[in-house]
Every structure is written in C-alpha cells, then in structure tokens.
C-alpha cells in the first residue's frame, strides 16, 4: 500500500466556480433554471469547456453536447472519468448535478497542478441532460448516449413540455441528431460521480461526506381502484364498495411496510386522484402512485412483494377492482466494491469523517454502470432539500467532498 | 279511531305524469337536466300548474316560482301540504324531487275525486330549487323562501357556476327578487314529502316504501394536513412528516368508526387533493373532505367527537399541522311523531308492507320543519342509485308510495 498523500483543494477557487456557474440560468437569489439545449445551458457548457481548457485539459464536445476535459495519462488504456449533469430542475438549485461536473474538473485540475501528468488518463465531464426537466422522457440523455442506450428514432420521438422534439432542440444548438451514436464510448474503465446527498442523513449524522455503495432500486406503480359511486348519506357503510377506503388502507399499509423494514427502504404515495371527487359522493375510482425503493436486490424483492400482497388483499376483501400498472422499474445499481474501498481509503487518508450509504435517488452513474465500474461521493445537504432554489451545501463540505474525490482519483490514476 | 278507508291510485295516470314530466329537460334515454329558472324548468312549472288546474285545484305561483295547487277545506285553518322540488342534478334522473311534487298532486287529485272536498285545506307544491345544481349556494331556495330563510341581499350575492346571479336568473323568468319575502308562509301546519330513497335499504329489505322518522344530521369538514415535501428516494421514512400517510390513517379511521357504529351512521371521504401530487415527491399538503351523518342527536355527537379526536391524534403523532374547517352543519331533523304514526297507520290500512327508517340525505322537509310538522315517505330505489340518469323506481312501488301518502292525508284532512 502507498502511504497517504495529502491533496490540496483551494476553497476560494471552489466557491468561485460554483457561484459563477450558478449565474447561467440564475433564478431568483439562489435558484437555477437551466434546461438542456437552452441558451443558459449553451452558455454553461461553453464556460465548462473554457475552464477545462484553462486547466490544461483537452476539450471535446461530443455528439449530444456532453463536454469532456481530458488529462492524458502516460500509459495507454481506458479513462477514469468523473462528472455529472449540468441541466437543472425548473427551477432547481445551484448544486444538483452541476457540483459533480465542477468537482471532476476541480479535482483533475488540482491533481495536474500538484502531481503533474498521471499514469492513467483522467477525464472530467459535464453531462448534458439528466433531469428530464425539458423533455420528460429524456432522463439520462447524456449518459445514455455515452453507453449506447439511445435508439435511432428516439430523438424525433422525444417531445418536450412545449411539444418540440429533442431532435429540433439539438439542431438549434448546432448538434446533429443523426450523429448521436458517435457519442458512444467504450474506453472508460471507471466513473466516479460526486453529488449532493439530496437527503438529511449526513446532516443528521453530523458528517460532511459519504461514499455511496449503491443506487437504490426503484419501482413506480400506477394503481387504479374501482368501486361504486354512491350517495354519501343514503348508502349504508356495510353495503359500500368504497375505493377511497381501500386506498386509505393501502396507502397507510405500504408506508408502514417500508417504515418497519427500516432504512434504506422507502415507499411514497405522492399522487392521488379521486373521481368524481365530491364531498357527498362515495368515489367510484381512486388512482394513485406507489414509489418504492430499496438498494438491496433481495430486500427490494421482499418490499415489492409485501406491497403487492397488501394491495391485492385489500382490494379483494373490499370488493374493489384493482389494476396495477408498472410505469418504472430500475434495478438497484451496486457500486464497484473495489472503488468503494478506494474512496473510503481516500477519505480516511485525508482525515475526513464519512459514512458509507446508498443513494435513494437515481443518478447518471446508473447508466454509466453499463460500460464502467462506478462509485459516487455524496456531500451533505442542508435540511435534505433539493430540486428547489433552497437547496444548499456549504463550501467547506464541498471542499471535503472534492478532496475525497481527488484523493481517490490519485490512488487510481497515479 | 276511524276504520280503514281504501284509497285508489290509478297506475296508468301515475306512469303518464311521471313520464311526461321527465320530458322537460330530458337527457339521453332516462336522464333529466332541469336546473332552476332554465327554459326546461319554466316549462315543467307550467305543466305542473296546468295539471293542478285540471285536477280542480286553485293554482298559485309564488314570488320565487314555487307552484301551489290548493284544494280548499270546509273548515278554516292552516294547510296540510305535500310536495317536493322539480329541479334536477345535471344530469339527474326522472324521480329525485319531481316524484314528490307529482305525488302530492296525484294524491290530492285522487282524494278530491274519491272523497270530495276535505274538511281541512290540502295543498300540493312544486318547490323551485333544492339541488343547488345551477347555484351551488342556493340549496333549498324554494323551501327557504317559504320559511323566511332568504335574507334581503341573498339573491344578488348568490352566484351560479357561470357567474350569473340568481337575481338575474329570476328576472329572466319574470320573477322580481325584491319580492322574495312575499313567498313566506305562516299558514302551513303539516308538510309531507314523498321522495325516492336514493339508497339500497328498501331494496335489500324487499319493501316498496318507508315512513321516514328523521332526516340525518350532517357535517361537512374540509381538513388540511400540512407536512414537509421531500424527495421520495433520499428522505428516510423515520424523518418524514408525510401528510399523505396521515391522511390515509385518518380516512381509514373515520370510515371504520362509522362502520363499527353501524346503521344509520355513515362517514364518507369523497374528496382529496394532494400537493404537489407527483409520484416521486412526498406531498407537503393533503386536503380532504369528511362527510359524517347520523339522525340521532346523541349518537351524532359521539360520531363527530370520535372523528375529531382521531384526526387530532394522528396529526399530533405524525408532526403534521391540521386545519379543520366546517363547511356545513345541519342538525338532525326529526319527523313529527304524530305524523309518523299517522302514515304508519295509513300504510297498514292499505295493506302495504313498509319499514320506518331515517333519511341519510337532506331534503326540503328540513327547511319546512321550521314552520310545520314534517314527515316523509320513501319509495324503493333500484340499486340505491340516484343523482344519475340510471336512477329508477318502478310504477308499482310509486303507486304504493302515493297510496300511503293519500291515505295519510285522508286521515289528516277528512
């Protein structure tokens, strides 16, 4: 084992790039509204490319608009890459995504300055679209292009909230949708993504950073319970087939199931629509969502099976029709154990207190896992807030996160 | 006691007037869309007046448009009145309201033909507005005018779904809103309202009619639970303040409370609105309705108190803010025990099987109770359906109901 190497990260530079980058699409005092292929996004991508060039990296913009900055290694072979997305929610905050793109750049710049050319090639990347905040079905557009998960007709079929296609939006910023396949990479061995936690766990634990050992599995169900609409006064309780009563039992039950399983199981009923939705009529239909997540494949199966059994039991007992549609099913994405160990060691080497935890949200790393070993680093979020202008992480915490990232990259590439 | 008198009601005439009346505002094959002061309503009111005149009754249209048909009694004194409303839901069926207006007319017409002039004055009435289906806050408009519960500014302040005032709508059909107070009556001793059950109880019991001994008490609450919006993946269950989970516990709880108390307690959660209502976000707010009803004042108090305690306990335990607004509170309206006994006796005299039960829905009789003794007669509903074109009661059942009504009126007025 090599001895610990101290990696220096300049807090002043970190604060400058984070705050300057947040000006592209600035929304109110602290928010950002920067959707893919918008003028704000074009300006942000150009700024990222300029900073890469200033750091001495070879800059390349690929066929979908991902911006790459390369620090060539002395040895041939695949690249070690770090980055994240630079598009935002509408509006989101300064940190979701952007911080990871900047962290990759800051870390590689610092390594280059402090240790010179690496043995292995390092790359920073600003991915072009993760949120799907302009094109709701285009989630992970940038990382999907890299791993070859965009089919030939997708760009024309992918519509935005204002009915424009993503193909047209690409052309407007000088990209040719016919060339998307050229963004594919097969020469990346490792992808490390720094990101804000977007939850309260690090804050509660009093820790600045975490090494992420898995991205949770997630299933979205759209459930429709149908009973019989009746007069709220004239129809006795014992004769009703009330889908609201069934929904209430199910929603309480699935939430309790996840709660009892304990962290990191989570289940959310975020959406409910009753028909006809009048106070004095027993509804005939209640439609609702069930978002359930677990990063452990075996525990996930138990969580999902318990939900399904509960829903079907309640519906059958109450004489309700039930239709369960699965609108999303991402399996858990496990981080590479070797990378997890490397970044845990890097944090310890830098004397930075950390924990190891799964991510409850989805990230570009899930896509990158198709072609590379992946790992993530989380930085503490204030109040667990994200997807809002109030999202906040402190510069000292960010610096600790970038130090862990840089120290780990140093272990891998030098 | 007088001996039983057989009252004859002609089924052919009953079917003719029910079906002909349903043509005013006919909607599809079996529906009716006849809102107050609409052209369809004007035509129906005119038809009712014409039929009253044909039956030899003195016809009078009052200041709000209620149509009265009077069969003058030999003795002076207050009137015994029977009727109901002729406006409908949008769309409703042929029977809700209209059947009671027609039943009063048919019964008094038959009594006049069979027994001649009564000792006491009898009146049939077609009330102008009960549903609030055009002007949502104008419920019981016709009966409220009769009992003096319309304040001077109400007509101008009462707005329709299309933003017109009820004052303008009155003027368009030749009524002067300044004269509403003239509709007030102080010379009615008894009000008997025949109505379809709108529930499944008679059908389940295999009985054509019921004498109604109370109209249920009803309270509508609008409840707002506020917690904290959070990411459905990144926020652990044990740290959430999830108003959907609180709502689910409350909705399941209040429904179970009414169910366990047994008939005639009913509680309905018919309406729910979650914000922001996205599958992957723990909502920050869930707003919902609680409609709870009981015809017994003491049992009603227990039902309401249990609901209130449950809601506050769940909110406090889950760290949710709760705001409870009462949007409606009608106390139970007990039928006059003497009238209940009279109509029970009338049914027995006619050899008609019946039960005595409360009404779970509200009716004009609640208003009329302000100035008169009241009682209602229910006719069996198919499948308990109402407020829909599918609402149905058979002519034989209707004839039984009108026979009970007529026989009771005979006992009171002859």
3-state helix, strand, coil in chain B (%, to 5): 40, 25, 35
- Are B293 and A245 an interchain contact pair (Cβ–Cβ within 8 Å)? no
> Does any domain span residue B197?
yes
Q: Is the pLDDT of residue B80 over 70?
A: yes
Chain B residues in contact with A235 by the CB 8 A cut-off are: 199-200, 266, 360, 384
The alpha-carbon gap from A67 to the nearest alpha carbon of chain B, in Å, equals 28
Evaluated on CA atoms A64, A68, A72, A75, the torsion sign reads: negative
Q: What is the 3-state secondary structure (H, E, C) of A199-245?
A: CCHHHHHCCCEEEEEEECEEEEEEEEEECCCEECCCCCHHHCCCHHH
> Does any domain span residue B346?
yes
Out of A234, A283, A386, name the one closest to residue B361 (CB).
A234
Residues B18 and B77 in one domain: yes
- Are A271 and B255 an interchain contact pair (Cβ–Cβ within 8 Å)? no
- Are B233 and A271 an interchain contact pair (Cβ–Cβ within 8 Å)? no
Residues A71 and A196 in one domain: yes
Write down the mean pLDDT value for chain A: 96
Beta bridge partners of A217: A294
Tokens of A61: 């913009």
Report d(CA A402, CA A186) in Å as an integer: 26
Q: What is the pLDDT of residues B380-398, one digit of tens each?
A: 999 999 889 999 999 999 9
The alpha-carbon gap from A200 to the nearest alpha carbon of chain B, in Å, equals 6
Neighbours of B161 (CB within 10 A): 11
Tokens of B293: 């009803």
DSSP codes, A55-111: TTPEEEE-TT--EEEEE--SS-SPEEEEEEE----TTB-SSTTHHHHHHHHHHHHHH
* Chain B residue with minimum CA distance to A263: B236
pLDDT at residue B72 in the model: 97
Is the ipTM here above 0.85? yes
Residue B192: closest CA among B171, B222, B213, B166: B213
Report d(CA A144, CA A128) in Å as an integer: 10
Out of A231, A232, A268, name the one closest to residue B282 (CB).
A268
Residue where a domain terminates, one of B283, B298, B330: B330
Chain B residues in contact with A265 by the CB 8 A cut-off are: 237
Please report, for the domain that includes residue A295, its CATH number.
3.30.70.360
> Does any domain span residue A78?
yes
Residue where a domain terminates, one of A293, A315, A330: A330
Question: To which residue do tokens 């102080």 refer?
Answer: B186
Residues B283 and B364 in one domain: no
The three-class DSSP label of residue A248 is: helix
Looking at the structure of chain A, the number of domains it has is 2
With cut-offs at 50, 70 and 90, classify the pLDDT of residue B6: confident
Residues B48 and B79 in one domain: yes
Q: Is the pLDDT of residue B1 over 50?
A: no
In contact, B104 and B404? CB cutoff 8 Å? no
* Chain A residue with minimum CA distance to B295: A233
Bond from prior residue into B276 cis (ω within 30 degrees of 0): yes
| Segment (H or E) for A131 | none
- B96 labeled binding residue: yes
pLDDT at residue A4 in the model: 63
In contact, A244 and A282? CB cutoff 8 Å? yes
Beta bridge partners of A22: none
Residues B180 and B56 in one domain: yes
Q: Is the pLDDT of residue A1 over 80?
A: no
Alpha-carbon radius of gyration of chain B: 23
Please report, for the domain that includes residue B161, its CATH number.
3.40.630.10
* Distance separating the N- and C-terminal Cα atoms of chain A: 13
Residues B326 and B342 in one domain: no
- B231 labeled binding residue: no
The beta strand positions in B246-307, using DSSP E, are: 266-268, 272-275, 281-282, 285-294
Bond from prior residue into B384 cis (ω within 30 degrees of 0): no
Residue B177: closest CA among B156, B148, B146, B159: B156
In contact, B311 and B294? CB cutoff 8 Å? no
Out of A231, A248, A266, name the one closest to residue B255 (CB).
A248
Beta bridge partners of B323: B224
> Does any domain span residue A38?
yes
- Are A236 and B268 an interchain contact pair (Cβ–Cβ within 8 Å)? no
pLDDT at residue B84 in the model: 98
Q: Is the pLDDT of residue A3 over 80?
A: no
> Does any domain span residue A239?
yes
Q: How many CB pairs under 8 A join A and B?
A: 219
Compute the average pLDDT of residues A372-399: 96
Tokens of B412: 């009171």
* Chain B residue with minimum CA distance to A239: B200
Out of A200, A232, A362, name the one closest to residue B270 (CB).
A232
Q: Is the pLDDT of residue B198 over 80?
A: yes
- Are B199 and A235 an interchain contact pair (Cβ–Cβ within 8 Å)? yes
Range of the domain at A286: 217-330
**Interface test with chain A among B96, B139, B234, B255, by most A beta carbons within 10 Å:** B234
**Interface test with chain B among A234, A290, A332, A363, by most B beta carbons within 10 Å:** A234
Largest CA distance in chain B: 82
Out of A234, A291, A386, name the one closest to residue B199 (CB).
A234
Compute the average pLDDT of residues A128-143: 94
* Distance separating the N- and C-terminal Cα atoms of chain B: 13
Residues B33 and B127 in one domain: yes
In contact, A331 and A369? CB cutoff 8 Å? no
Residues B294 and B408 in one domain: no
Please state, in angstroms and as integers, the Cα–Cα distance from residue A47 to each residue in A10, A35, A88, A100, B259, following that order.
19, 16, 16, 15, 65
Residues B270 and B373 in one domain: no
- Are B387 and A281 an interchain contact pair (Cβ–Cβ within 8 Å)? yes
Tokens of A408: 């780990």
Phi, psi of A274 (to 5 degrees): -100, 145
Residue where a domain terminates, one of B330, B345, B372: B330
pLDDT at residue A300 in the model: 97
Compute the average pLDDT of residues A144-171: 95
Report d(CA A313, CA B122) in Å as an integer: 57
- Are A231 and B271 an interchain contact pair (Cβ–Cβ within 8 Å)? no
Q: Is the pLDDT of residue A2 over 90?
A: no
Residues B320 and B340 in one domain: no
Chain A residues in contact with B386 by the CB 8 A cut-off are: 231, 234
* Chain B residue with minimum CA distance to A215: B233
Report d(CA A45, CA A42) in Å as an integer: 5
**Interface test with chain B among A198, A229, A233, by most B beta carbons within 10 Å:** A233
Neighbours of B23 (CB within 10 A): 13
Tokens of B332: 């139970």
Residues A211 and A222 in one domain: no
Residues B376 and B243 in one domain: no
Q: What is the pLDDT of residues A264-320, one digit of tens each?
A: 999 999 999 999 999 999 999 999 999 999 999 999 999 999 999 999 999 999 999
Chain A residues in contact with B289 by the CB 8 A cut-off are: 279
Evaluated on CA atoms A9, A12, A18, A24, the torsion sign reads: negative
Residue B214: closest CA among B96, B295, B304, B330: B295
> Does any domain span residue B403?
yes
Long-range CB contact pairs, B154-161, < 8 A, 24+: B154/B180, B155/B180, B159/B135, B160/B134, B160/B135, B160/B136, B161/B134, B161/B135, B161/B136
- A220 labeled binding residue: no
* Chain B residue with minimum CA distance to A288: B279
The DSSP call for residue A356 is E
Report d(CA B233, CA B100) in Å as an integer: 57
Evaluated on CA atoms B91, B96, B98, B102, the torsion sign reads: positive
With cut-offs at 50, 70 and 90, classify the pLDDT of residue B219: very high
The alpha-carbon gap from A233 to the nearest alpha carbon of chain B, in Å, equals 4
The beta strand positions in A276-340, using DSSP E, are: 281-282, 285-294, 321-330, 333-334
Chain A residues in contact with B233 by the CB 8 A cut-off are: 198-199, 216, 218, 266, 291, 293, 359-362
Report d(CA A157, CA A167) in Å as an integer: 8
Residue A24: closest CA among A108, A96, A75, A86: A86
With cut-offs at 50, 70 and 90, classify the pLDDT of residue B5: confident
* Chain B residue with minimum CA distance to A289: B279
> Does any domain span residue A342?
yes
Report d(CA B7, CA B5) in Å as an integer: 6
Chain A residues in contact with B262 by the CB 8 A cut-off are: 238
* Chain A residue with minimum CA distance to B229: A385
Write down the mean pLDDT value for chain B: 96
Compute the average pLDDT of residues A21-45: 97
> Does any domain span residue B5?
no
């Amino acid at each position: 084992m090599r001895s610990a190497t101290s990696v220096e990260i300049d807090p002043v530079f970190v604060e400058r790039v984070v705050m300057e980058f947040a000006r592209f699409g600035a929304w109110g005092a602290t928010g950002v509204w920067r959707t893919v292929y918008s003028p704000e996004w074009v300006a942000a991508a150009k700024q990222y490319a300029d900073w890469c060039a200033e750091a001495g990296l070879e800059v390349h913009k690929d066929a979908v608009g991902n911006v790459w900055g390369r620090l060539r290694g002395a040895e041939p072979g695949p690249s070690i890459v770090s980055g994240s997305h630079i598009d935002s929610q509408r509006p989101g905050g300064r940190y979701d995504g952007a911080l990871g793109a900047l962290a990759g750049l800051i870390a590689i710049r610092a390594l280059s300055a402090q240790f010179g050319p690496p043995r292995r090639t390092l790359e920073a990347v600003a991915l072009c679209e993760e949120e799907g905040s302009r094109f709701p079905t285009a989630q992970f557009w940038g990382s999907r292009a890299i791993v070859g998960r965009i089919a030939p007709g997708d760009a024309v079929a992918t519509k935005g909230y204002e009915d424009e296609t993503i193909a047209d939006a690409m052309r407007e910023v000088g990209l040719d949708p016919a060339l998307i396949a050229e963004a594919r990479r097969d020469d990346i061995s490792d992808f490390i993504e720094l990101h804000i936690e977007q939850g309260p766990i690090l804050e509660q634990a009093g820790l600045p950073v975490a090494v992420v050992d898995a991205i949770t599995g997630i299933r979205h169900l759209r459930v429709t319970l149908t009973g019989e609409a009746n007069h709220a006064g004239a129809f006795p309780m014992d004769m009703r087939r009330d889908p609201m009563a069934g929904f209430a039992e199910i929603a309480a039950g699935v939430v309790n199931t996840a709660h009892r399983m304990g962290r990191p199981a989570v289940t959310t009923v975020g959406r409910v629509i009753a028909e006809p939705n009048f106070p004095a009529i027993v509804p005939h239909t209640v439609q609702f969502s069930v978002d359930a997540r677990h990063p452990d494949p075996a525990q996930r199966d138990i969580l999902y099976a318990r939900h399904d059994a509960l829903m079907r039991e309640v519906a059958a007992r109450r004489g309700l029709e039930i239709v369960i549609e699965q609108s999303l099913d991402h399996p858990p994405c496990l981080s590479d154990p070797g990378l997890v160990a490397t970044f845990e060691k890097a944090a310890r080497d830098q004397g930075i207190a950390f924990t190891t935890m799964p991510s409850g949200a989805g990230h570009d790393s899930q896509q990158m896992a198709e072609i590379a070993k992946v790992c993530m680093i989380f930085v503490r979020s204030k109040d667990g807030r994200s997807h809002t202008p109030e999202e906040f992480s402190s510069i000292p915490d960010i610096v600790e996160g970038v130090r862990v990232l840089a120290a780990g990259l140093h272990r891998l590439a030098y």
